[in-house]
Amino acid sequence: MIDMGDITRVQQRIAQLQKSFMGLQQVPGAVGFDAQLQQAIAAQKAAEAAKGQASGANAAQPASKTNAAASASKATLPVNVGTGLKAVSDLPAADGDLATMVQDAARDQNVDARLVNAIAQAESGGDQSAVSPVGAIGVMQLMPDTAAGLGVNPYDKKQNIEGGAKYLREMLDTFGGDVKKAVAAYNAGPAAVKAYGGVPPYPETQAYVDRVLDLYR
C-alpha cells in the first residue's frame, strides 16, 4: 500500500526538480512524472474505496445467508404424519392440564393415578378430540350411554376424565380390586369378564390389557 507521507515528500521533490529544469522542453504527448504519480494515487484511492465497499458487503452477507438458510430450512421441515404439524420444534407443548385432571380425578375416586393415566394413553393417547369407530368419545373413550350413567358430559375434557376414573373405580370394586380384570372390564364390559372368569378371549381386549398393564408398571 502506498504511504501518503512518502507521496507528499516525493511530490515536494518533484516540484524542486521541475523548478531546476523549467527550461527543458517536454516531449510532445508524453505524460509527466507528476501526472503519472497523481494517476497512481487516484487509482490507489479508487482501489481502497472498492475494497471497503466489498468488505462491507461481505460483512452483511452472513446474516442474509443465515436468514435465507433459515427460511429454506423452515420451508423444508418434514411434516409430522398424522398431525399435520412440522417437525419437533413446531410441536405443541405437553398438555399439563391432562396430568392435573388425571391426578385430581384419581384422587377423588381413590384410584392409582398411574392406572388412570395408563388407560387414558391406551384409549385415546390423551386426545379429547378422539372418537372411536363405535362412537366412544374423548380422552378415556366414554360411550354416550356410559357417560350418561356416570352423570358426566363426555365432550368436556375434565368431566370425561372424571367419568373414566369413576367407571374404573366401579370396575375395581366389582372385581375385588383385581386390576387386570378391572382393565379388561373397562374395555369389554363387566359382563364379558364375568362370563369368562377373567380377560375375555378377544384379541382386541387381550392386547388392550397388555398395553395398559405395560404402561402402568
Catalytic residue check, 123: yes
The letter for the amino acid at 19 is K
Assigned C-alpha cell, 84: 399435520
Q: Are 143 and 135 in contact (CB under 8 A)?
A: yes
Measured CA angle at 82 (ends 78, 84), to 5 deg: 55
Closest by CA position to 196, among listed 210, 184, 186: 184
Closest by CA position to 135, among listed 146, 126, 125: 146
Distance CA 135, CA 123 (A): 13
204 DSSP assignment: H
- The distance of Cα 83 from the centroid of its chain, to the nearest Å, equals 13
Distance CA 30, CA 153 (A): 103
Paired with 131 in beta bridges are 137
Distance CA 164, CA 138 (A): 10
Which is catalytic among the residues 48, 123, 162, 170?
123
What residues are annotated to the active site? Answer: 123
